[in-house]
Amino acid sequence: MNAVGIDVSKGKSMVAVMRPFGEVVFSPFEVSHTDKDLTDLAKRLKSLPGETRVVMEATGSYHAPVAWMLHSAGLYVSVVNAMLVHDYGNNTLRRVKTDKKDALKLANYALDQWLTLPEYAPEDDTRQLLKSCYRQYRQYSKVHTVLNNNLISLLDTVFPNANRLFTSPPRPDGSEKWVDFIASFWHRECVSKLSEKAFIVKYQKWCIKHRYNFSEKKAKEIYASAKSSVGVMPKTDAAKCMVEQAVSLLCASSCTLAALRKQMLSLASSLPEYPVVMKMFGVGPTLGPQLMAEIGDVRRFNSKKALVAYAGIDSPPNDSGQVVGKHKGMTKVGSSSLRRTLFLVMTVYLQNAPQDEPVFQFMDRKRAEGKPYRVYMMASANKFLRRYYATVKAYLNSLEKAA
């Protein structure tokens, strides 16, 4: 048996091969993440006598080309959580951290866990694209929030509370009425210097141009707000430039998010579990693709407990001697993106309060027991995830039998 430990980094990896009783077959050597070097590595490992298993840590996207190339070459590849290997074999007071030592540690780990190493299975292209698309969506969402707050902060100096004058939801293309309004009426004096009648006429033309519903009552409300507000920044070209740039960046990020949402929905709709996931309460065209992106194919989890652990919302036992732990917190060792999506789904449950839904009944019962907000929200997420696993897996199995 040949245990191959690969310490992955960006663009290159350190490889070590060991056999039982500490026999070093290949001392740690470096391999670049090029097609030629990885192909040569696969041939070199396949030439070894006996069974060979390769172990590496999951390191974002760095390990992907190595795992994919070696798996395609017919080798047994296992990609493990870095937490499992982090403290393995640290039975010395002298902590050494080098790529060579890490490669040897992974090889030793492979020997110890030989029979339980999970085999790596690459995701299909659609699921991989969906997950990548969602990760990009999350990154741009953070940028969008910063830009949104920046524009509101700027408006407090030129047109206070202008963002609160409209309650219209965003359009499918991501545009929002209050942002489009500020693009044209960027300073309170753009409104207050006009007569009320002149502003109403100008506002009506603006609504027609941007395809918004016109309301004379709303126009008077905007005019009254502009008259009563105090803008500390004067109406100058410099101030106009700052507002226009803030609006431009916010509009660009809104359009980007809308395009990504549309692409995520398109990718998710091509997956077999899409119909049954979209029928679940709390899941819509936005949260549905997010769930499917983070969970992937539920059949890769051997039980519902494994899926809950992957999300990091499980509460393992915490007992010692005669002390029985009663306040058990979540592990939070798992996908933070999935936990965020589950929390949003639970928010939908809480806002709509569907009395006939088992998940909400469970949530309501925990809330009546006096559980804190975050406790009953994530306990309900745990129950929702278990139902998701059972429902989706049964549906996928039925499709396989029908085929």
Buried b (16+ CB within 10 A) or exposed e, 95-127: eeeebbbbbbbbbbbbbebeeebeebeeeeeeb
**Confidence at 26, pLDDT banded by 50, 70, 90:** confident
Residue written as tokens 């141009």? 209
pLDDT score of 273:
93
Across the range 37-58, mean pLDDT stands at 90
**Confidence at 276, pLDDT banded by 50, 70, 90:** very high
Query: pLDDT for 63-84, tens place per residue?
Result: 888 998 999 998 999 998 888 8
**Confidence at 124, pLDDT banded by 50, 70, 90:** confident
pLDDT score of 85:
83
CB neighbours of 170 closer than 8 A, spacing ≥ 6? 176, 254, 258
The distance of Cα 63 from the centroid of its chain, to the nearest Å, equals 19
Across the range 167-193, mean pLDDT stands at 92
Which segment of 22-26, 125-129, 231-235, 330-334 scores lowest on mean pLDDT? 330-334
Work out the end-to-end distance of the chain between its first and last CA atoms, rounded to an integer number of angstroms. 39
Averaged pLDDT score across all residues of the chain: 89
Report whether pLDDT(91) > 70: no
Is the model's pTM score more than 0.85?
A: no
Separation of alpha carbons 333 and 260, rounded Å: 28
Q: Is beta strand 76-80 parallel, antiparallel or unpaired with respect to 52-57? A: parallel
Which segment of 65-79, 88-102, 271-285 scores lowest on mean pLDDT? 88-102
Residue written as tokens 């942002």? 179
pLDDT score of 257:
95
pLDDT score of 92:
67
Extract the tokens encoding 85.
Answer: 């290997």
Report whether pLDDT(94) > 70: no
Please say whether the beta carbons of 4 and 54 come within 8 A: yes
Helix (H) or strand (E) holding 7: strand 2-9
pLDDT score of 388:
93
- Closest among 178, 181, 186, 174 to 251, alpha carbons compared: 174
The distance of Cα 142 from the centroid of its chain, to the nearest Å, equals 11
Report whether pLDDT(180) > 80: yes
Report whether pLDDT(323) > 80: no
Query: pLDDT for 250-275, tens place per residue?
Result: 999 999 999 999 999 999 999 999 99
pLDDT score of 157:
93
Using the Cα atoms of residue 236, residue 239, residue 241 and residue 243 in order, give the sign of their dihedral: negative
Separation of alpha carbons 154 and 325, rounded Å: 50
Please say whether the beta carbons of 191 and 185 come within 8 A: yes
Q: Is beta strand 23-32 parallel, antiparallel or unpaired with respect to 52-57? A: unpaired
Extract the tokens encoding 180.
Answer: 């489009």
Report whether pLDDT(7) > 80: yes
Domains and CATH numbers, the chain: 2-122 (3.30.420.40), 128-264 (1.10.287), 274-402 (no CATH)
Residue written as tokens 């029985």? 324
Extract the tokens encoding 305.
Answer: 């407990």
